[in-house]
């Protein structure tokens, strides 16, 4: 089984452009590696702000977005 573990930050200290950069980098990594399972290590803030953007940009749906 191929798995991907990613620490999800917020990029908030550097503004919205940094946050979008974090989202784009993580989404690209998920698409490139195409794991069978993905695990996102999040803080409360990144779970609320960043993770939903990553899920949308990476095209993750259904069972793959279970929390």
pLDDT over threshold 80, residue 61: no
Distance of alpha carbon 43 from alpha carbon 11, whole angstroms: 12
Q: For the segment 8-56, what is each residue's pLDDT rounded down to a tens digit?
A: 988 766 567 777 888 999 999 999 999 999 999 999 989 988 999 999 9
Domain assignment of residue 31, given as a range: 3-65
Q: How many domains does the chain have?
A: 1
Distance of alpha carbon 62 from alpha carbon 21, whole angstroms: 25
Q: What pLDDT is attached to residue 65?
A: 55
Distance of alpha carbon 47 from alpha carbon 10, whole angstroms: 9
- What pTM does this model have? 0.80
């Amino acid at each position: 089984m191929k798995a991907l573990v990613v620490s999800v930050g917020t990029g908030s200290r550097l503004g919205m452009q940094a946050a979008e950069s974090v989202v784009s980098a993580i989404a690209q990594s998920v698409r490139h590696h195409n794991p069978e399972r993905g695990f996102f290590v999040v803080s409360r803030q990144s779970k609320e702000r960043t993770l939903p953007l990553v899920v949308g940009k990476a095209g993750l749906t259904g069972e793959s977005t279970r929390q």
